[in-house]
Amino acid sequence: MSEWHNDGSFLDLLGSRSSVIPAGGSALPDARGGFSEIHATTILAFHYAGGVLVAGDRRATAGNRIMTNRVEKVVEIDGGSLMAIAGSPAFALEMARILEHTFKYYRRSQLAELSIEGKLRILSQLLKENIPMAFQGIGAVVPLFATQDPESKESRIYFYDILGAHFEGVPFAVAGSGSLEVQGILRYLDRWGVSGKGLSVMEEREAVILSLRLLETASYFDSATGGVQVRETVFPVVKILDRNGIHTIEEDALREFYRTGVESV
**Residue ranges per structural domain of the chain:** 29-263
| pLDDT at position 138 | 84
Highest mean pLDDT among 29-33, 36-40, 195-199, 215-219: 215-219
| pLDDT at position 2 | 38
77-115: pLDDT as tens digits: 999 999 999 999 999 999 999 999 999 999 999 999 999
Question: Does the annotation count 41 as an active-site position?
Answer: yes
12-25: pLDDT as tens digits: 655 555 444 443 44
| pLDDT at position 14 | 54
Yes or no: say if 179 and 42 are a contact pair by the CB < 8 Å rule: yes
| pLDDT at position 95 | 96
186-227: pLDDT as tens digits: 999 999 987 677 899 999 999 999 999 999 999 999 988 988
Highest mean pLDDT among 46-50, 60-64, 226-230: 46-50
| Distance of alpha carbon 240 from alpha carbon 164, whole angstroms | 25
Phi-psi region of 225 (alpha: psi -120 to 50; beta: other; left: phi over 0): beta
Yes or no: say if 69 and 59 are a contact pair by the CB < 8 Å rule: yes
| Nearest residue to 76 (alpha-carbon basis) of 167, 148, 24 | 148
| pLDDT at position 64 | 82
| Distance of alpha carbon 141 from alpha carbon 162, whole angstroms | 6
In single-letter form, the type of residue at position 52 comes to: V
Q: Tell me the C-alpha to C-alpha distance, in Å, between residue 224 and each of 19, 67, 93, 178, 230.
A: 31, 10, 19, 8, 17
Task: Write down the mean pLDDT value for the chain.
Answer: 87
Active-site hit among 41, 42, 217, 225:
41
Question: How many of the other CB atoms lie within 10 Å of CB of 169?
Answer: 22
Phi-psi region of 8 (alpha: psi -120 to 50; beta: other; left: phi over 0): left
> Order of strands, edge to edge, in the sheet holding 60-62?
27-29, 35-40, 60-62, 65-68
Pairing of strands 166-168, 155-160: antiparallel
Cα torsion 132, 69, 221, 145 to 10°: value is -50
- Confidence category of residue 8, pLDDT binned at 50, 70, 90: low
112-166: pLDDT as tens digits: 999 999 999 999 999 999 999 888 888 899 999 999 998 888 999 999 999 999 9
CATH class of 29-263: alpha beta
